[in-house]
Amino acid sequence: MKAPPETGFFSTPLARQGNIIFSGVQQQDYSAMIWLKRRDRLERSQQKCIAVFALVCCFAVLVALIFSAVDVWGEDEDGVTEENCSKNCRIVLVENIPGELSFNPNSSTHLPLAMGLNHLLDQAKLSVEIVSPYWALTSTDQGSRLYSSYQGQYLFQRLLSLKSRGVKLKIVSDQPNSIELKSMSDRYAEVRYVNMTALTRGRLLSSFWVVDRKHIYIGSAGMNWKALSKLKELGVVVYDCSCLALDLHRIFSFYWQLQYRDYIPSIWSKRVTAVFSRDEPLQLRLNNTDASAYVSTSPELFCPKGRSRDLDAIRHVIREAKRFIYISVTDYLPLVNRSFRGSPIIRYWSPIDEMLREAAVLREVKVRLLISLWTRTHPLTFNFMTSMQALCTGLPFCSIEVRFYRGKEHMGGFQHRINENKFMVTDNTAYIGNLDWVGSELAFNAGAGLVIQEPENQREGQDSIVQQLTAAFERDWFSPYTISLLSGSTTLQESQHGSQKLQALKTKPESREHE
């Protein structure tokens, strides 16, 4: 048979081969084992390496993130903390009443704004920090007489003369092209710019001073010579109040840190977060009267942890009113206008409207709105205000009244002597802000506000800030410069500008222009 030798022939070498293969395999196994062990070790040390590397990477990324997202270098706060800041303060109402306006001689007069600001500069020993929507103290428009611009010129010179006293001057603005700011920074001031276009596409309309982290001014007037002569402005100066100044200074620091940024960092250092808020207001003494106070800001994006929004402050003040709510603003319009892919989108913006309606109809709180009638008054203001007034029809205890403030009898110059006031006063609280009550303004523009609440029993027989503001409001309300809603509407329609605007409204929905 051929087969066995064949198998035999094949079997021997196969066995040998098998042996060789076997030992080969054994060897391979062995070396594989060693290799595996080595690889194991290698892998482990590699893993260690990778882990360490990853950790280092993470750390580096974290550090980078922290440095980019957090404002690490907060401003020095001169050792004042919320525990030992001063709470025994003095408050003074400051106003600019254009010379041509004459009110009832019996009505109270307050410290002129220009004097208040100059007095603040007298007090300054270390630093003056200013935020203002405009810088036009020295500009003289056509038709302005030397005298009316004098106060602005003087204030400008006094700000520059801080240098000789070694007082720091810091300014934040969103106007990089301002000639006046350029000249100020060339001569002395430290100026920083906030690019509001990149942040919210709004404007920096905040208007306040912090002097020595101790005294403050906040109000409707910016650094404009007209605000010291031709426009009707209102604000407050608070002296010896490092607690409030500390909080307002933090808002200033927040703006200060926004230079060169085109986004709002998500994490902030303690140096810019709120000290006091709506839920935890500062308990203080104002002219020997107990009061509570806090500052609020807009827009929401600019409210770091704990900071109260202007809108929430306003809503809270309205909600807490028991007997009356008096509001004096240049513009009131419950609309938000945002451009979306090039075309404007306008929405009804109800938060303040609904609070006022609720207060008047359900709680029978008397509401009075004093709005300016001027070239930029949006025609829809009349519609919204008419609907507001109509709400009380047939309700005996409901009262909503709207009036327009118009500085001049004649139509020709009615953009002058505008009432720029931006405040609200109720039977127990005052709110003094920087922004008009227009949806777009509160949603996108930066502003600040001061809320001062005074307990009822404290105010008996005392001339408190709430009472002073109430008196100022009533003086304006009953002055010859106010007109009813209806005649305001007719006036605007008669004016050329108004009819143009109305025409534009009929053809396409238009919204409020920003300055």
Ligand X SMILES: *[C@@H]1O[C@H](CO)[C@@H](O)[C@H](O)[C@H]1NC(C)=O
Summarize as ranges the residues that interact with ligand X (CB under 6 A).
79-81, 84, 90-92, 104, 106, 176, 195, 197-198, 262, 287, 337-339, 344, 440, 463-465, 468, 510-511
Query: What does the H/E/C string look like for 8-27?
Result: HHHHHHHHHHHHHHHHHHHH
Return the number of the residue (440 or 453) whose C-beta is nearest ligand X.
Answer: 440
Least Å distance, CB 479 to ligand X, is 12
Least Å distance, CB 337 to ligand X, is 4
Residues in the chain: 515
In contact, 200 and 166? CB cutoff 8 Å: no
Instruction: State the Cα angle at 298 between 473 and 314, rounded to 5°.
Output: 40
In contact, 380 and 337? CB cutoff 8 Å: no
Return the number of the residue (96 or 149) whose C-beta is nearest ligand X.
Answer: 96
Return the number of the residue (284 or 365) whose C-beta is nearest ligand X.
Answer: 284
Spell out the residues 6+ positions from residue 148 whose beta carbon is closer than 8 angstroms to its own: 99, 225, 229, 230
In contact, 247 and 233? CB cutoff 8 Å: no
The whole-angstrom separation of Cα 270 and Cα 267 is: 10
Which residues make beta-bridge pairs with 335?
348
Return the number of the residue (76 or 186) whose C-beta is nearest ligand X.
Answer: 76
The whole-angstrom separation of Cα 287 and Cα 42 is: 77
Return the number of the residue (232 or 378) whose C-beta is nearest ligand X.
Answer: 378
The whole-angstrom separation of Cα 54 and Cα 66 is: 18
Return the number of the residue (190 or 364) whose C-beta is nearest ligand X.
Answer: 190
Least Å distance, CB 103 to ligand X, is 10
Return the number of the residue (46 or 339) whose C-beta is nearest ligand X.
Answer: 339
Among the listed residues 415, 219, 414, the one whose alpha carbon sits nearest the alpha carbon of residue 328 = 219
Pairing of strands 447-453, 366-372: unpaired
Q: What phi and psi, each to the nearest 5 degrees, are found at residue 280?
A: -130, 75
Give Cα 323 to chain centroid, integer Å: 29
Least Å distance, CB 153 to ligand X, is 26
The whole-angstrom separation of Cα 447 and Cα 190 is: 21
Least Å distance, CB 262 to ligand X, is 5
The single-letter DSSP state of residue 204 is B
The whole-angstrom separation of Cα 235 and Cα 451 is: 12
Least Å distance, CB 366 to ligand X, is 23
Return the number of the residue (344 or 480) whose C-beta is nearest ligand X.
Answer: 344
Least Å distance, CB 338 to ligand X, is 5
Return the number of the residue (198 or 267) whose C-beta is nearest ligand X.
Answer: 198
Return the number of the residue (92 or 355) whose C-beta is nearest ligand X.
Answer: 92
Least Å distance, CB 82 to ligand X, is 9
Least Å distance, CB 465 to ligand X, is 4
Return the number of the residue (152 or 439) whose C-beta is nearest ligand X.
Answer: 439
Least Å distance, CB 374 to ligand X, is 19
Residue type present at position 397? F
Spell out the residues 6+ positions from residue 442 whose beta carbon is closer than 8 angstroms to its own: 298, 299, 310, 311, 435
Least Å distance, CB 343 to ligand X, is 9
In contact, 91 and 287? CB cutoff 8 Å: yes
The whole-angstrom separation of Cα 96 and Cα 196 is: 29
Rg, the chain, Cα only = 34
Least Å distance, CB 483 to ligand X, is 20
The burial of 128, by beta-carbon neighbours within 10 Å (0-12 exposed, 13-18 middle, 19 or more buried), is given as buried
Return the number of the residue (336 or 392) whose C-beta is nearest ligand X.
Answer: 336
